[in-house]
Structure 1
């Protein structure tokens, strides 16, 4: 019974444990909150919590109960945008970036380091890929971030999957899309042949 761990990595990371041989309503979800004052402390926090999550799945013989891990692929570019700031001389327009976008790579790197240390197979899945698989649509004009999150929660509710928030719902989508990935299929074929 292959178990996939889906991860929507952020400062509040949603996770979903998906037993591909069980009913969808049995998917277990939760959240990991990265604590700390800066990106490095938050990366260390998420790494330690990943260790706890992985080891919590061990059976009585000490075997890890996760067979495959999928995480949403972090954006590979940092997008700048214009922001107006008020000064004594009046409004000033300046270019800026979302600092959370920079932090996501640190958090993802910490998670991948822990996954690699446990020698667990893994894959990154672009948001457009898991959304198309889970929600039936990739990027749609006019859909903003809040709309995507709302639709993910609604989809989980329709499937009778209990989720605490949109981060956990997106992790469900990532885990379910991982089942269709080439990497997961290779893992399954290898186990069937063994």
Structure 2
């Protein structure tokens, strides 16, 4: 059974993983969502997934779950009258949700079983630690790349390395286990 792991963003990392095969056989790559706005980027990602599925279809897709909360923060903006504090959000958080939904829509249209996996869950499964004090985004990405190199998995960047972790963690999902049992029967 073939698992496709997706670390979705404007540059989406992907990894094809076959449980039971050598980890060095994992194939990775990147999809660049292009467009002038979030909707065009979601359409671009969807079209590239369609092309990918025409070339080879996974049995299961595991996707990093986007953050479920949108956090607001204060930002100081310089104006002619001086500094002004304003409340804002990270607009990428909203775009990320749209990209994930576009991917899930395509995956569901192909009737491929899928699961979203929280980052702490796949990191604990792949890296051996789910949340670690002092680890920032860059440290997590380095850890994923280092782990792939230790397994002799060829990755172009951290997005592809994280997709490997997401794909491998997909094997531990209940939905994948049930799928494997059904197909074995």
Q: TM-score, normalised by structure 1?
A: 0.93
The correspondence for 1:127, drawn from 119, 123, 136, is: 119
Aligned match of 2:172: 180
- Tell me the CA shift for residue 21 of structure 1: 2.7
Q: What is the DSSP-based 3-state SS (H/G/I as helix, E as strand, rest coil) of the residue aligned with 1:83?
A: strand
Alignment of 1:8-87 (within 5 A): 8-57=7-56, 64=57, 66-87=58-79
Give the Cα–Cα distance (whole angstroms) in 2 for the partners of residues 8 and 87 of structure 1.
Answer: 38
Q: TM-score, normalised by structure 2?
A: 0.98
**Deviation digits for residues 114-139 of structure 1, max 9, x if unmatched?**
10111001000000100000011111
Give the Cα–Cα distance (whole angstroms) in 1 for the partners of residues 131 and 86 of structure 2.
Answer: 28
The correspondence for 1:91, drawn from 70, 83, 106, is: 83
Number of residue pairs matched?
Answer: 185
Which structure 1 residue ranges, 5 or more long, are not aligned?
A: 58-63
Give the Cα–Cα distance (whole angstroms) in 2 for the partners of residues 192 and 124 of structure 1.
Answer: 23
Give the Cα–Cα distance (whole angstroms) in 2 for the partners of residues 82 and 138 of structure 1.
Answer: 28
Give the Cα–Cα distance (whole angstroms) in 1 for the partners of residues 54 and 21 of structure 2.
Answer: 21
Which structure 2 residue ranges, 5 or more long, are not aligned?
A: none
RMSD: 0.8
Give the Cα–Cα distance (whole angstroms) in 2 for the partners of residues 104 and 144 of structure 1.
Answer: 19
